[in-house]
Amino acid sequence: MYKEVGTYTGEAGLTASGNQVEVSFDAKAIGQLHVIAEVKDNGVHPMTRYVRFVVEVK
């Protein structure tokens, strides 16, 4: 999570399971939360890709 750019006021947690991630939020917190995902492959020439997700918590 990239807290410096968002407006989210609470704590958030990430739980990874295989190729899925679950994000948990505080019950009363609001704002924008920025999550940066990193994906890598296992090829001969490994590649990495980064994607930013912006989540609006209301």
Dist CA 58 CA 5 (whole Å)? 17
pLDDT tens sequence for the chain (58 residues):
777 888 888 888 989 898 888 989 888 889 998 989 888 898 899 899 999 999 898 8
Q: Tell me, what's the pLDDT at 54?
A: 92
Q: Tell me, what's the pLDDT at 48?
A: 96
Q: Where are the domains of the chain?
A: 12-57
Q: Tell me, what's the pLDDT at 50?
A: 95
Q: Tell me, what's the pLDDT at 28?
A: 87
Return the beta strands (E) in the chain as ranges: 12-17, 20-25, 31-40, 48-57
With beta carbons less than 8 A apart as the criterion, state whether 12 and 28 touch. Answer: no
